[in-house]
């Protein structure tokens, strides 16, 4: 690494961290990481009064030394190291580009890489990977409000110590704001600071690809015993039939099915599967599995995640048949079926509905609130 210039703290103006700063886990269990900077960056240990300046593009190498120690070039630290880009500078890690601060946080013999950025910047890196940037602007606006509200709920709940959200489907897909689509920027800017509330409080604004004709009560997916608030009790759709995800037929391998039931207390080879309990929108809440050793009723959402959510598209199952090598499932929709139906949002936008109408349809009794 090239020689760095050392700066005093008074000459360095850090970006302020507001209450809406979002911390995204980009990677974990890292022993080393290569990060490319497109221009001026500042590097320092958390809590240090000394900052180092890297003026030109190069590859910054972060390494775990063990025992909570990290090294970045000539800089060693017993704790977190920070790479902060100047305005307009991008940091590239694993082919994705970021514009926020990157924190290398030690964790035993490895480290986590966490980006700190502001809410609106974060959304620029979420929308194009949760909804196609080529879709109608009003659909993108609805997605922006839903994603912003979901993010605020994750920050509020603070389930994780070092970060707020994952950068994958465990939270929301995120690939950084280094590449920004004009349509996405327009949608985020037009709805800046807007969130959904119910009785003056934000709530989890879940969303999914296709509801198969209607969304469901959140309890059918979360398994919660608590009463569901009105915006998450389910809604009619009718605007998602244009999508190839509306109807599907998929074969789930026998091995995947056997593995699931065996791990859940039912031994033997599965010979029959039937639908057990159903939600109001006809999603299977449970499935009945039968082997030569017995029968067991198990959660359909858990089964779907076990065999692959892209294999079993949803639990809105209409038919199950034994087939060569496994079981063939037919059904409607793609995803958990709660909250915003993205294909439905597209359909409503193409029918001339604005984002406020879209959100009020999928989250009935909710209110758009300016933050």
Tokens found for residue 176: 């950084």
In 292-361, which ranges are E strands? 294-299, 317-323, 326-332, 340-341
Q: Would you tell me how many other CB atoms lie within 10 Å of the CB of residue 50?
A: 12
pLDDT score of 194: 96
* Over residues 339-352, mean pLDDT: 98
pLDDT, tens digit, 9 for 90 and up, residues 37-72: 999 999 999 988 899 999 999 999 999 998 899 999
Tokens found for residue 299: 């959660």
Rounded Cα distance between 66 and 109, Å, is: 4
* Over residues 295-300, mean pLDDT: 96
Please report how the helices 355-362 and 342-350 are oriented relative to each other, as an axis angle in degrees rounded to 10: 140
pLDDT score of 225: 76
Among 51, 29, 176, residue whose Cα is nearest residue 116: 176
- Residues 6+ positions from 281 with CB-CB distance below 8 Å: 211, 213, 214, 215, 216, 217, 220, 234, 316, 337
* Over residues 160-176, mean pLDDT: 93
pLDDT score of 371: 79
Residue with tokens 């985020």: 188
In whole angstroms, how large is the CA radius of gyration of the chain?
24
Sheet with 194-198: strands ordered across = 201-202, 194-198, 367-370
H or E element at residue 202: strand 201-202
pLDDT score of 20: 84
Q: At residue 18, does pLDDT exceed 50?
A: no
Q: Percentage of the chain with pLDDT > 90?
A: 86
Q: Would you tell me how many other CB atoms lie within 10 Å of the CB of residue 265?
A: 9
Domain positions in the chain are: 5-117, 121-242+336-370, 247-332
Please state the pTM of the whole predicted model.
0.89
The b-or-e profile of 286-311 (16+ CB within 10 A means b, else e) is bbbbbbeeeebebbbbebbebbebee
17 confidence band (pLDDT: 50, 70, 90): very low
Rounded Cα distance between 51 and 86, Å, is: 13
For the purposes of burial, counting CB atoms within 10 Å of the CB of 343, is it exposed (0-12), middle (13-18) or buried (19 or more)?
buried
* Pair 313, 334: CB distance under 8 Å: yes
Counted residue by residue, the chain has a size of 371
pLDDT score of 280: 84
Sheet with 247-253: strands ordered across = 247-253, 326-332, 317-323
Q: How far apart, in Å, are the Cα atoms of 131 and each of 145, 255, 294?
A: 13, 33, 43
pLDDT, tens digit, 9 for 90 and up, residues 100-144: 999 999 998 999 999 999 999 999 999 999 999 999 999 999 999
The two beta strands, 110-117 and 101-107, are antiparallel
pLDDT, tens digit, 9 for 90 and up, residues 180-209: 999 999 999 999 999 999 999 999 999 999
For the purposes of burial, counting CB atoms within 10 Å of the CB of 263, is it exposed (0-12), middle (13-18) or buried (19 or more)?
exposed
Please provide residue 160's backbone torsions phi and psi, each rounded to the nearest 5 degrees. Answer: -110, 150
């Amino acid at each position: 690494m090239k020689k760095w210039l050392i700066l005093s703290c008074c000459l360095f103006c850090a970006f302020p961290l507001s209450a809406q700063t979002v911390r995204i886990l980009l990677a974990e269990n890292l022993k080393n990481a290569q990060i490319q900077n497109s221009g001026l960056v500042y590097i320092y240990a958390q809590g240090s009064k000394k900052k180092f300046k890297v003026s030109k593009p190069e590859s910054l190498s972060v390494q775990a030394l063990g025992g909570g120690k990290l090294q970045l070039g000539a800089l060693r630290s017993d704790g977190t190291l920070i790479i902060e880009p100047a305005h307009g500078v991008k940091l590239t890690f694993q082919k994705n580009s970021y514009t926020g601060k990157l924190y290398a946080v030690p964790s035993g013999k490895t480290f986590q890489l966490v980006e700190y950025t502001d809410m609106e910047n974060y959304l620029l890196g979420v929308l194009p990977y949760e909804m196609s940037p080529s879709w109608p602007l009003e659909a993108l606006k609805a997605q922006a409000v839903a994603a912003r509200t979901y993010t605020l709920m994750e920050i509020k709940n603070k389930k994780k110590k070092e970060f707020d959200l994952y950068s994958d489907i465990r939270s929301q897909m995120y690939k950084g704001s280094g590449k920004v689509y004009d349509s996405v920027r327009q949608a985020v800017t037009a709805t800046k600071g807007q969130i959904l509330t119910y009785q003056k409080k934000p709530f989890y604004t879940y969303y999914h690809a296709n509801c198969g004709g209607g969304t469901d009560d959140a309890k059918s997916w979360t398994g919660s015993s608590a009463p569901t608030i009105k915006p998450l009790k389910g809604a009619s759709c009718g605007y998602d039939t244009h999508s190839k995800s509306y109807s599907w037929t998929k074969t789930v391998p026998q091995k995947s099915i056997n593995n699931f039931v065996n791990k859940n207390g039912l031994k033997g080879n599965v010979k029959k599967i039937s639908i057990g309990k159903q939600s109001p929108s006809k999603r299977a809440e449970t499935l009945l599995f039968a082997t030569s050793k017995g029968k067991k009723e198990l959660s359909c959402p858990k089964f779907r995640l076990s065999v692959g959510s892209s294999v079993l598209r949803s639990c809105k199952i209409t038919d199950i048949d034994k087939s060569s090598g496994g079981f063939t499932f037919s059904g409607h929709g793609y995803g958990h079926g709660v909250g915003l139906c993205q294909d439905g949002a597209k359909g409503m936008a193409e029918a001339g509905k604005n984002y406020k109408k879209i959100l009020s349809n999928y989250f009935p009794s909710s209110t758009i609130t300016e933050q």
